[in-house]
Structure 1
Amino acid sequence: MAVDPLDPAAVVALAKAQGVDFVIVGPEAPLAAGVSDALRAAGILTFGPSQAAAMLEASKGFTKEVCDAAGAPTAAWARFDNAAEAHAHIAREGAPIVIKADGLAAGKGVTVAMTVPEASAAIDALFADAGAEVVIEEFMDGEEASYFVLFDGTTALAVGSAQDHKRAFDGDTGPNTGGMGAYSPAPVFTPAIERQVMDEIIRPTMAEMTRRGTPFQGVLFAGLMIKDGKARLVEYNVRFGDPECQALMMRLGPQALDLILACAEGRLDQVQVAWADDHALSVVLASRGYPGDYVKGSVIDGLSALPNDPDHKLFHAGTAFGADGQIVAAGGRVLAATARGSSLQVAQIAAYHMAEAIDWPEGFFRTDIGWRAL
């Protein structure tokens, strides 16, 4: 039964027809479309924020307003719906500077412009779409990390840290992508920084959302910039981000469902995370040309010989069955070879053994995932 995941009524009808009693809404677009609201209104237990609370990801400007009201440390910013005014702002501020689409962009609507001409080109590209709005931010330097917190409207429960690799190519070069690989935990995310993030960013944000009458329930993914022992917020996502999610889930294991269910039922105060002293690393295999134009339909071989056990998983993101039953590429980021190990180096070696064993000439992957920590 084919259903549009952005059609709340259709998703509710499918859930009822199949006797579904618990729904986890994963991607950001259905959350922004109000799917979780419709499911809850139909009496179906749901994990994921309301449409109003999902604005923390759906609008960069909204997030900045919430952070300002909450006193959460973040970059200085301005929002524009006029290209000429945005260009004037760039001319005043100079570069480096950050240009963001004020809306959902699948992790790719951000340009970190190191020069004014690069910033101007990004503004022109975003305003090519009618009705566009753009957020321009102060450039923050430091080391990026991702932090994941479950929130049930009352209780916050941290579920781990990770570090992503946004640039397409080795050495953090090339265009921004949705993420080319990640590892967990993030060594830069010390206990002291975790306390600061919870006290100065996460809890004040959640309190401000409740004050506005839009309490948050689900997973809050904080993208952070860390420098000199302090963190500032880069942005929020209202979902488990990809590829951080793969590394995080490898470490959480089966307890992930228990934690998510407790969050949906409003009883996070009754559970805790049981961490092993382990590490996980995920390597994304993407179609050549990504994040630009790429060709779909190329055959991927060698998958059946890969290990598939609690310490090794190949996650499919953009694959399909070809006409003869073979696995073919059907997207930009296609696969994620993910491994868990007693150390980050052990996990890295195992993940790359998997990635290198895949026979896919039309694909590529970075060879340096985990380089900051190792």
Structure 2
Amino acid sequence: MDILVIGSGAREHTLARELLKSEQVEQVYCLPGNPGMQLDQIKTAAIDVNDFEQLIAFAKKQAVAYTIVGPEQPLVAGVVDAFQAAGLAIFGPTKQAAALEGSKTFAKEMMARAQVPTAQYQTVTNESEALTALQGRSLPIVIKADGLAAGKGVVIAETLADGLAAVRRFFKQGRRQILIEDYLIGEEFSLMALVADDQVYPLPIAQDHKRAFEGDRGPNTGGMGAYCPVPQISDQIVQTAVETIIKPVVATMAANGTPFTGVLYAGLIATATGIKVIEFNVRFGDPETQVVLPRLQGDLAQVFQQLLTHQQPTLDWQADGVTLGVVVAAKGYPNQTPAIFQLAPTARFKGANSQFSFAGVVATTGGLMSAGGRLYTAVYTAPTMAQARVQIEAGLQSVADPQSFFRRDIGFKSQM
């Protein structure tokens, strides 16, 4: 069978590559994809993720068995509804269910109904309300733009001035609502689960590093790296999160008339008073996907086929070792104009010890060129974190450019 993946980044590259491993799969298309994917025999076509008419026409022409959606924008805009109306199989939440990520206010309402613990918050609609809300609050304080922000809609303000500056910037960007939240202290982790027919199938947890620079400093990004598993988070904590957060939210969404099907991503934090929700996403995380999916010991294409045909999926995960993913970005990311430059010859990416999933690249006669932002994720699985780091460093030494940067401390909290 042939499969369609919607998206263009490293997450979608990983999804497509894992799907291609299946003996049942002849071809995987990724739209629009990026030229780095072609190194893994993934076919791409320049169709925008929000051009539903053209996406549907492509899926019908190629007679794909089903479609997987990577990014949040088309999900929130209703791509699943459009595909289903056209009689096409697609795995993901409807437009109404995708509001769990598209609207932080809606997500908070669902959490309140499900009695799921999260940070105390206040929603403001103008600068005057924000100033009142910020006065007297304990610092640091979290400022969140309500709506999609490509991983850049959260500011942790250390001072009142920083908080006001973030509020003004978000309103200047056209945000109608902003959430002001208490800052939570604890160990963060990402829990993704496949959801179908109101049943929950958890994936191994990962830990993402959002800050741009080593030591968890600098601005928030879409993610600078991740690792899996997360040994400092016990199996008991994970199971508690599934039973007290994921399942209640799925049940509440169904009771609300907005049943959820797809990938439910919970950004969680284990605090001194229990597990709390930082955010919900309605799709695979990036860069968590790059380190979780390679640990599946089985057929990913079959898993989605089973979910779409109302069967229990077969999920078997690698139990030993650690999978480390390090994101390489163009200098300037995320707040300044990123550098544009020619990447190393593609042969070096193929021959390196690490596996590369590409994102912000374009094709030139000389190979791949940076398109700004996050360029690719280098991934390696090894018995220990130290060994994985050595392999990643070796792989990146042969391909990384002086005009790019990456964090060398991804996974520093792990004891593996």
Checking the alignment, whether the CA contact within 8 Å between 2:146 and 2:175 is kept in structure 1 is: no
Q: CA deviation at 1:144?
A: 0.8
TM-score where L is the length of structure 2:
0.85
> Does the alignment pair 1:288 with 2:288?
no
Checking the alignment, whether the CA contact within 8 Å between 2:213 and 2:407 is kept in structure 1 is: yes
Alignment of 1:132-151 (within 5 A): 132-151=176-195
Cα distance between partner residues in 2 of 1:284 and 1:2: 24
Q: Does the residue aligned with 2:264 lie in a helix, a strand or coil?
A: strand
1:19 to 56, 63, 66: 63
Q: CA deviation at 1:230?
A: 2.7
1:26-75 deviations in Å (ceiling 9; x for gaps):
11001011011111121211111111111111111111110001000110
1:58 to 67, 77, 102: 102
Q: Does the residue aligned with 2:259 lie in a helix, a strand or coil?
A: coil
1:288-341 deviations in Å (ceiling 9; x for gaps):
0000123454011154234569x831110111112x232110130001110011
Cα distance between partner residues in 2 of 1:131 and 1:237: 19
Q: Which residue of 1 aligns with 2:386?
A: 345
Cα distance between partner residues in 2 of 1:62 and 1:308: 46
> Does the alignment pair 1:304 with 2:313?
no
Bigger drift between 311-320 and 2-11 goes to: 2-11
Q: CA deviation at 1:259?
A: 2.2
2:114 to 44, 66, 70: 70
Q: Which residue of 2 aligns with 1:316?
A: 358
1:169-227 deviations in Å (ceiling 9; x for gaps):
11111111111010001113211111210111101100110001111111111101112
Q: Which residue of 1 aligns with 2:403?
A: 362
Bigger drift between 247-256 and 158-167 goes to: 247-256
Cα distance between partner residues in 2 of 1:344 and 1:161: 16
Checking the alignment, whether the CA contact within 8 Å between 1:217 and 1:264 is kept in structure 2 is: no
Q: Does the residue aligned with 2:245 lie in a helix, a strand or coil?
A: helix
Q: Does the residue aligned with 2:337 lie in a helix, a strand or coil?
A: coil
> Does the alignment pair 1:152 with 2:196?
yes
Q: Does the residue aligned with 1:161 lie in a helix, a strand or coil?
A: coil
**CA RMSD in angstroms, aligned pairs only:** 1.8
Cα distance between partner residues in 2 of 1:275 and 1:223: 22
AA partner of residue 312 (structure 1)? S
Checking the alignment, whether the CA contact within 8 Å between 2:344 and 2:400 is kept in structure 1 is: yes
Checking the alignment, whether the CA contact within 8 Å between 1:26 and 1:48 is kept in structure 2 is: no
Cα distance between partner residues in 2 of 1:258 and 1:214: 26
Cα distance between partner residues in 2 of 1:205 and 1:138: 21
Alignment of 1:243-282 (within 5 A): 243-252=287-296, 255-268=299-312, 270-282=313-325
Cα distance between partner residues in 2 of 1:131 and 1:161: 32
Q: Which residue of 2 aligns with 1:372?
A: 413
> Does the alignment pair 1:183 with 2:227?
yes
Q: Which residue of 1 aligns with 2:366?
A: 325
Cα distance between partner residues in 1 of 2:69 and 2:243: 27
Pick closer, same or farther for the CA change 1:158–1:201 going to 2, 3 Å.
Answer: same
Pick closer, same or farther for the CA change 1:189–1:229 going to 2, 3 Å.
Answer: farther
Q: Which residue of 1 aligns with 2:3?
A: none
Q: CA deviation at 1:342?
A: 1.9
User: Please, which runs of 5 or more residues in structure 1 have no aligned partner?
Assistant: none
Q: Which residue of 1 aligns with 2:49?
A: 5
TM-score where L is the length of structure 1:
0.94
Q: Does the residue aligned with 1:178 lie in a helix, a strand or coil?
A: coil
Cα distance between partner residues in 2 of 1:115 and 1:260: 46
Cα distance between partner residues in 1 of 2:392 and 2:301: 24
Checking the alignment, whether the CA contact within 8 Å between 1:152 and 1:267 is kept in structure 2 is: no
User: Please, which runs of 5 or more residues in structure 2 have no aligned partner?
Assistant: 1-44
Checking the alignment, whether the CA contact within 8 Å between 2:56 and 2:86 is kept in structure 1 is: yes
1:251-271 deviations in Å (ceiling 9; x for gaps):
125533322332233223x53
